[in-house]
Structure 1
Amino acid sequence: MAASLGLGSAQFGGDYGISNTRGRVGEDEVRQILELAADCKILNIDASHHDGDVERVLGRNWPFPSPFKPQVRTLRLENGLEWLESRLRRSVDHMGLVRAHAALVDRAEDLMGPDGDALWARLEKLKGEGLISKIGISATAADQPLLLAKRFKPDLMQVPASILDQRLVKNGTIGNLADLGIEVQIRSVFLQGLLFLPRENLPANLVPVGPHLSRVRRMMAEGGADPLHAALSFALNLEGVSTVMVGVTSAAELRAIVAASERKAPKLNWDAMALTDEVALDPSQWFADLGEQATRRLVRVA
């Protein structure tokens, strides 16, 4: 059974995504996006307080009664558990809701620290009180999400996966999470827009993967697919995935995503499209000054 679409909201709070040329989404556009999402039964909405004023933007613009299943995220633990709980309660309040569908631990390293068990216990308390319905973890490939899942037994896990980043598919993590009865969401299915960025616009740290990205697009074209259709087909048909989170900057973009998701999946060599370059798979390094190490890498790959 194919996964369903969910909506990320990072673009509602800032200029998110390497191929985003429109900047932060205006509130009129947010309202149109949410109305379209409701009409299309795209109900999972991922809200993050790290991205500007997203929670209040959502609260001001979605229909009431809201059909959505909003997800909130924890802040870091530096200010203590009492403050973290207070902030989660404000997150729900900012969205004009009585409860949130889920709360996700935003940084998995918080769970691996000395206060990890106490953090999880606090979230279980909030679940018991009815402030949230599910507890989840947002993890990266480096966080070893399967080990986290076995230790904390979350209701859901959100991890990155895409045509370009197939690490958690190939090592069996996504399938194993689903086998544990965990709801699996995937994000970064366009790898923050890298899939759509013209080769000539790549930042210096990504120049080495330019030839691979060109090959991927050529393979898609030869298979009768465009990057949007191919990316969604790959993500929505991954075994064990429940929800595919996507981000948009306009209702038109969401309309295109919905249309592409309803098309028949192309027959492509998915395995051959995966990136292995560590810098390309880590957006935090795309614009970093990698110094001598980056210079050696550019020479080696070129």
Structure 2
Amino acid sequence: MTEKKLILGTVQFGIPYGVNNLVGQPSKQEIFTILKKAYEHGIRTLDTAAAYGNSEKLIGDFLQSNPEMGFKIITKIKTDDSVDFEKSLTASLTNLKIDSVNTILFHSFTDFKKNINKHRNSINKHKGNLFEKIGVSIYDNNEIIELLDNDLIDVIQAPFNLLDNKTQRGHLFKELQSKGKIVHTRSSFLQGLFFMNKEVIPKGLSPLIPFLDEIKKLCNQYDISVQELSLNYVLNKKYIDGVLFGVDNVSQLNQNMANINPQLPEDLINAIDEINVIDNFLLNPSKWKI
């Protein structure tokens, strides 16, 4: 089932997030309702991080109150100079109120490079016990290339969407899978940019407007919403194992689930595949100047 590929992101649970987020953080009651509804929809994996405010604690409260809802957990650990890997992982497990997580990620490639040798012994000690898989959240293709033959890394989480698409890194995702690595994607909605009226798009992102217009033109041509296309384009790719997406409320979650339709027209998929944003720094929210 397509739902099995879906991973619910929870950064919104702990901090205000997204260029198009106008409502801020949801309440604890709303978060619990989102998680219950996600489980009912067949979603079985949550993505969080120690750095996402109190997201881990809220998820832990939910899991404690609903032990029958067995979500797999992906979390990103803190590994700066002031935090020990083992202590950070233990703190996350305490917050989550569970004995182990499915996957831990380094927050960035820089974080991985800086800390991997220092924490290698702890990783080897606890892998298969406190966590099953380890990975890296990356931002660009050079980082993927450096990780292709790294036997320690099981999972790569990377951006992928209607603009940050097959043209940008599809070939590398295929190579990752050929080497036995798991590919998870994030930024399916590019922080909500796809849903914004171009009149309110920040000036620094205005070079993307022609591409956004092209997407809307294709949506009109094929009678499909931007929301529906955004999620299903990524779900359509066989070289992607998991698709991370976030919501601010239950209504958004229900709408996303109602939009799932993996049978997109081949011509539409090919048209999106061919969109080529040359200035790809515009696709990296961490570099946005808005």
State the shift of 1:112 in Å: 2.3
Contact (CA 8 Å) 1:158, 1:186: kept in 2 or not?
yes
C-alpha spacing 1:203/1:170, structure 2 compared with 1 (3 Å): same
State the shift of 1:159 in Å: 0.9
1:119 match: 119
3-state DSSP of counterpart to 1:103: strand
The yes-or-no answer on 1:271 pairing with 2:273 is: yes
Q: Which amino acid aligns with 2:287?
A: Q
2:109 match: 108
Contact (CA 8 Å) 1:206, 1:279: kept in 2 or not?
no
State the shift of 1:118 in Å: 3.4
The yes-or-no answer on 1:64 pairing with 2:67 is: yes
Bigger shift: residues 269-278 or 177-186: 269-278
Following the alignment from structure 1 to structure 2, what is the Cα–Cα distance between the partners of residues 173 and 217?
27
State the shift of 1:109 in Å: 1.4
Q: Which amino acid aligns with 1:46?
A: D
State the shift of 1:56 in Å: 0.5
2:143 match: 144
Superposition pairs of residues 192-271 of structure 1, within 5 angstroms = 192-262=191-261, 264-266=263-265, 267-268=267-268, 269-271=271-273
State the shift of 1:77 in Å: 3.0
Following the alignment from structure 2 to structure 1, what is the Cα–Cα distance between the partners of residues 76 and 60?
16
Structure 1 unpaired stretches of 5+: 289-302
Q: Which amino acid aligns with 2:246?
A: G
- Give per-residue Cα distances to partners, 1:4-43, cap 9 Å, x unaligned: 1110001101111111111111111101110011112211
Following the alignment from structure 1 to structure 2, what is the Cα–Cα distance between the partners of residues 7 and 124?
28
Following the alignment from structure 2 to structure 1, what is the Cα–Cα distance between the partners of residues 166 and 118?
30
Contact (CA 8 Å) 2:109, 2:143: kept in 1 or not?
no
1:296 match: none
Superposition pairs of residues 152-163 of structure 1, within 5 angstroms = 152-163=151-162
- Give per-residue Cα distances to partners, 1:213-243, cap 9 Å, x unaligned: 1222112111111111111121001121111
The yes-or-no answer on 1:34 pairing with 2:41 is: no
Following the alignment from structure 1 to structure 2, what is the Cα–Cα distance between the partners of residues 125 and 215?
50
Following the alignment from structure 1 to structure 2, what is the Cα–Cα distance between the partners of residues 97 and 147?
33
C-alpha spacing 1:127/1:120, structure 2 compared with 1 (3 Å): same
- Aligned-pair identity (%): 26
Structure 2 unpaired stretches of 5+: none
> Following TM superposition, where does structure 1 have runs of at least 4 consecutive aligned residues deviating by more than 6 angstroms?
none
- Give per-residue Cα distances to partners, 1:153-195, cap 9 Å, x unaligned: 4222111111111267545111111111111111111111111
2:184 match: 185
Bigger shift: residues 26-35 or 141-150: 141-150
Bigger shift: residues 145-154 or 181-190: 145-154
Q: Which amino acid aligns with 2:124?
A: E
Q: Report the TM-score, using the length of structure 2 for normalisation.
A: 0.91
Q: Which amino acid aligns with 1:64?
A: P
C-alpha spacing 1:154/1:170, structure 2 compared with 1 (3 Å): closer
State the shift of 1:98 in Å: 1.1
Contact (CA 8 Å) 2:236, 2:262: kept in 1 or not?
no
The yes-or-no answer on 1:76 pairing with 2:76 is: no
State the shift of 1:100 in Å: 0.8
C-alpha spacing 1:190/1:224, structure 2 compared with 1 (3 Å): same
State the shift of 1:211 in Å: 2.4
C-alpha spacing 1:104/1:257, structure 2 compared with 1 (3 Å): same
2:97 match: 96
3-state DSSP of counterpart to 2:42: coil
State the shift of 1:203 in Å: 0.9
- Give per-residue Cα distances to partners, 1:120-168, cap 9 Å, x unaligned: 442222114x111211221111552132131244222111111111267
2:284 match: 282
Contact (CA 8 Å) 2:112, 2:136: kept in 1 or not?
no
Contact (CA 8 Å) 2:74, 2:103: kept in 1 or not?
yes
Contact (CA 8 Å) 2:77, 2:107: kept in 1 or not?
yes
State the shift of 1:61 in Å: 2.2
C-alpha spacing 1:199/1:117, structure 2 compared with 1 (3 Å): same
Bigger shift: residues 59-68 or 161-170: 161-170
3-state DSSP of counterpart to 2:158: strand
Following the alignment from structure 1 to structure 2, what is the Cα–Cα distance between the partners of residues 255 and 197?
20
State the shift of 1:287 in Å: 2.5
RMSD: 2.0
Contact (CA 8 Å) 2:187, 2:244: kept in 1 or not?
yes
